[in-house]
Structure formats: C-alpha cells, structure tokens
Amino acid sequence: MEILLSHFYKLLSKFIFIFFFNCVVSQAIAKNIHDCDLTWIADHPIKECTDLYEKKISSLTETQKQYFEDEFKKILNHKVLGAVSADLAYLFKDYPTSTVLFTKLQINEKVDKANKDYTTKVSFGDPVLSVYENYEFILQQYKILSHMLEKKGKLEAEEKNMLSISKQRTQCLGDILDDLIDNPEKSVDRKFIIDKCYQ
C-alpha cells in the first residue's frame, strides 16, 4: 500500500510540475504576442516581435496564407482610408507580413496628409503627449518593418523599395523626435513632420 501511495505521489508531483511549466510557458507566449500587437500604442521589442512574426507566418498553411492574401485584397478595396488602416492593423495580428505592415503605414501617411489640422503641435513637453506618442509609435513600426526586411536577406525589387522608404522614415522621424526629447520646451507643427518625412 505504501509503495502504491509513493508511486501515486511521484506521478502527481510530475503532473503538477508539467502543468505548472505549461502555464508559465503559455503566459510567456501570451505576453510576447500582446507585446507585439501593433493595434496597441505601446513599446514593442523590435527583435523579439520580428522573430514572433516570422514564426507566425511559417506556422501558416498555404490555404491559410491564401485566405489572408484574399482578405488583404478585399480590405484594400474599401473606400475609407481610415477604415483600411484599422482593418490592416487587425489583419497584421494574424498575417504579419512586411507587405501588410508597409501598406498600413503608407495609408496612415495618406490619412495624415489629408488631415486638415496641420497646425497641431508635436512636443515631448506636452503633458498629454498623445500626438508625440503617435509619431513615436509610427517610428517604431518602421523600425520593425526595416528589421523584418533586413532579416529576410535577399529582397525582390518591391521589397528593396519598401526597405528604402522604411529607412528614410526611420531616420527622419528619429531625428525629429530625438530633437524634441532633447528640447522639451520645443514644438513643431504636424505639417513640418509630414513635409519633411513623408516624401
């Protein structure tokens, strides 16, 4: 009887250990997925997110990829650019390709250019910081896009163009935002950023 109980406790302790380990691992994965959700304005770890997106794409079947490609084309047919951008952000969660991210960012730029309120001030010293944080978020997405493309290595002509634009945006936005951080009393109009960076 004691031998049976001893054996039972060993099995139970193994089960508890495995169960606990699985919980910890799944929480870590969930945290990474949440950290890399570009529908949230947050600090996204560039390398970790790029790796996660790569794993996500490689885990998809050809049928799934085709489904998401069809969804991508459907989204682009929408007439309202703001809606297209939002839909692409959600598509990117399931289908995180450089093309989806680049297209979303380019549409965001069109929306930004079409926005009549060019005089909105961008400043690190602004207590609300929402406008500054929005451009910081855009910068981070371009950094992620650049890393995704650079990691791929051999690029098609269209991808080389995407990388070139992404690097230009990263440099330009980075310079402006760094200058605003270094000079918290300084501010620039949105128009200045749009004219300088969105060529």
Residue-wise pLDDT tens digits, 4-18: 445 444 544 544 433
Looking at residues 186-196, what average pLDDT do you find?
Answer: 91
Closest CA to 70 of 107, 98, 95: 95
pLDDT at 41: 67
- Residue 144 counted as domain residue: yes
Does the residue 47 lie in any domain? yes
Domains of the chain: total = 1
**59 in any annotated domain:** yes
Range of the domain at 166: 36-197
Note whether residue 6 is domain-resident.
Answer: no
pLDDT tens-digit map of 118-129 = 677 888 877 666
To the nearest whole number, what is the mean pLDDT of the chain? Answer: 82
Whether pLDDT at 177 is above 60 = yes
* Whether 149 contacts 162, CB under 8 Å: yes
Give a yes or no: residue 88 inside a domain: yes
pTM, full prediction: 0.79
Residue 152 belongs to a domain: yes
Average of pLDDT values for 127-141? 84
Angle at 25 between CA 24 and CA 30, to 5 degrees: 100
Does residue 27 lie within any of the structural domains? no
Tabulate helix, strand, coil % of the chain (nearest 5). Answer: 75, 0, 25
